[in-house]
Amino acid sequence: MTSPFKLYREAHEAMNADATVQQARAAHREAEAKLAEMQAQHAEAERPLIEELREADMTIAFWEAPYRANMDDAQAAICVAVAGIGQSMTEFGVEAKYSAGRRSTEWKSIALRMNAPKSLIEEYTTPGKPSVTVRVI
C-alpha cells in the first residue's frame, strides 16, 4: 500500500506541474496586477477586472479540483495514521503535526475542596480533542 504522505506529495507536485493550473495561476496574477494598476487610476474601471479575477479563481478551482480531491483523500488517511500513533510524522516532504489537544481544569470544583491531592485535580482535568495538521515542506 502506498503511503498517504507520498500520495499527498505526488498530488501536490502534479498540481503545481500541471500546465493548465500554471496558466490559470498566471492569468490570476496578471488580473491582480491589472486590478492594482486600475485601482490607482479609477475606482469605476475596476469592476470588469474584479469579474476577471473571479473567473480566474473559478478556473483555478476547476483545474485544481481533481488534485485537491486526491490530496484530501491522502490527508484523511494521514490524519487517521498520525492520530493513531499519537505523534508527528514527516515523509516524502509532507509533515503531519500531531497535537494531543488542550487540557482544561474545573478550578471551581477544586477550590471547593481546598488542599486537593493531585489525583483529584486529574479527576477534574479533561483532555481536548487531538488534531493533525498536514503541509508540504
Residue type, 57: D
What are the residue ranges spanned by the domains of the chain? 4-136
Q: Is the dihedral of CA 107, 109, 112, 114 positive or negative?
A: negative
Mean pLDDT across 47-59: 92
Q: What pLDDT score does 119 carry?
A: 82
Question: Residue 118: pLDDT band by 50, 70, 90 thresholds?
Answer: confident
The C-alpha atoms of residue 113 and residue 126 are separated, in whole angstroms, by: 18
